Structure 1
Amino acid sequence: MRAAAGVWRWRHNPLRRPTDLIEAWTALAAALMLLLAAPAVGWFAGNATEDSLRQAARQQRMHRHPVVATVLRPAPPPRSPASEAEPPPARERPRTVWARWTSVDGVGRTGRIAAPPHDARAGDELTVWTDRAGRIVARPMEPAAVRVHAVLAGTGFAFASAGLVEAVRRLVLWRLSQRRFARLDRAWAAAGPDWGRTGAGS
């Protein structure tokens, strides 16, 4: 509303400079872009992200399979690289166990898997996700995670668009200010030699 009022105020003002009208129209255009274009960009970006992630989640569910793994024994903590002065605290180390599972092709496999939050003992059964080759993989993305990522992507694109609009507006205002200063300098240079002299310009 302020931008529209500025355009109307400068419409027939006798003191209006060309740069004043450009500034008012720039403010109005920026306000419309912030209110309409930025949310639209965020909405389209969020929908595109959601569609892409849903398709990726479907592919994951097709190629990843839950299997039951039996815990054999706790796995020793991985060795720290020689470059590290001291190993990380025990609470920061990843907790793993050795387990045995049968992949979807019927082949038995043994390997290190992430331990559950509680202490796993030998003989405990855990559900893990494997690919067709029986390798341990991450759990397929859940629909809730897809929505969260889509909302974050849409919000990020909306704010980025708003920031771009504001940056362009500030650049235009800076250029207009430079033009005003240059015009003032030229006017001052033209009137400067006679400024303050009696009878100047007569």
Structure 2
Amino acid sequence: MAFRGPKVWLWRWRRNPLKRRADSVETWVVLGTWLVTVLAGVLAGLAATQSVEQGLARERVEWRAVEGHLTEKAPGTAAEHSSASTADRVWGKVRWTAPDGSSHTGQVRVRPGSTVGTEVTVWTDPQGHLVTKPATAAEAQLRADLIGVLVGAGAALVPFVCGRMVCGRLERRRMAQWDAEWAGFDPLWGRKTWADGDT
């Protein structure tokens, strides 16, 4: 095996009589990989963040809170009504009227033991379909940032891994070339360079 010495900072960019064509190719592959990795990560992350922010902002504008009414008694007892937290709520069947006047029904979370006719606030899209409560501006910003980071990291991983694979292949080829050339010197090292009678 060829001897591998310690790493030297920016060695690929330094002049060296032992530098081969493969070293120069690897230099540009490494540079290109880092540039594409950074650009892909940043651009994909920003695009994802902006897309999520716009989608959530559109939801805050278009989705509306409307009053619905329970059509059947909610599971549970009335004694649990006052102490029930959001996590303890149960599913109840609710009917509401869309902006176009059409009637809709669906399942929403309500307090246990709520009676028929109890008013319940539900969120609907422009077509009157049941949706979740839209995220606040702060929640939307946090969600968009997190998604942007994840998408950016995923996008950056692709060129980085590809670049590492190419560099690994170049490294193996370079080491094989070194091994072959060092092997050619072995017979020369075994020969004497002076006459047998010399001291």
TM-score, scaled to structure 2: 0.61
Residues 112 and 171 (structure 1), Cα distance of their counterparts in 2 relative to 1, 3 Å cut: closer
Q: What does 1:181-196 correspond to in 2, within 5 Å?
A: 181-187=175-181, 190-191=184-185, 194=187
Answering whether residue 79 of structure 2 is matched by residue 95 of structure 1, we say no
Show the counterpart of 2:70.
71
Tell me: CA distance 1:184–1:44, structure 2 relative to 1, closer, same or farther (3 Å).
same
Q: Find out whether 1:175 has 2:180 as its counterpart.
A: no
Q: How many residues align?
A: 175
Cα drift, residue 164 of structure 1: 1.9
- Aligned CA distance change for structure 1 residues 177 and 99 (closer, same or farther; 3 Å): closer
Check conservation: 1:68, 1:101, Cα contact below 8 A.
yes
Q: 1:70 to 1:54 in 2, by over 3 A?
A: closer
CA deviation after TM superposition for structure 1 residue 185, in Å: 4.4
8 Å contact 2:69–2:118 — kept in the other structure?
yes
Of 17-26 and 159-168, the range deviating more from structure 2: 17-26
Which runs of 5 or more residues in structure 1 are unaligned?
78-91
Q: Assess if the C-alpha contact under 8 Å between 1:7 and 1:25 holds in 2.
A: no
Contact 2:73–2:92 (8 Å) recurs in 1: yes
User: For residue 19 of structure 1, what is the aligned residue in structure 2?
Assistant: 22
Taking a change above 3 Å as real, the CA distance of residues 70 and 3 of structure 1, as seen in their structure-2 partners, is farther
Task: State the 1:167 CA deviation.
Answer: 0.7
Q: How many Å separate the matches in 1 of 2:158 and 2:127?
A: 47
Distance 1:38 1:68, change over 3 A: closer
Q: Secondary structure at the match of 1:187?
A: helix
- Identity of aligned pairs, percent? 27
Task: Give me the CA root mean square deviation.
Answer: 4.0
Long gaps (5+) in structure 2: 1-6, 77-86, 194-199
The 5 A counterparts of 1:43-192 are: 43-55=46-58, 57=59, 61=62, 65-71=64-70, 73-75=72-74, 95-104=90-99, 106=101, 113-116=107-110, 118-122=111-115, 123-130=117-124, 137-139=130-132, 141-142=134-135, 144=137, 145-187=139-181, 190-191=184-185
1:95 corresponds to which letter in structure 2? V
Residue 72 of structure 1 and its aligned partner are, at CA, apart by 5.2
Output one character per residue of 1:113-135: Cα deviation in whole Å (capped at 9) or x when no partner: 3233x435325321123567766
Structure 2: how far apart are the matches of 1:31 and 1:93? 50
Contact 1:97 1:114 (8 Å CA) reproduced: yes
Q: 1:66 to 1:185 in 2, by over 3 A?
A: same
Instruction: Give CA deviations for 1:84-121 in whole Å, capped at 9, x if unaligned.
Output: xxxxxxxx998223445445455666x563233x4353
Q: Say if 2:49 and 2:145, in contact at 8 Å, map to a contact too.
A: yes
TM-score normalised per structure 1:
0.61
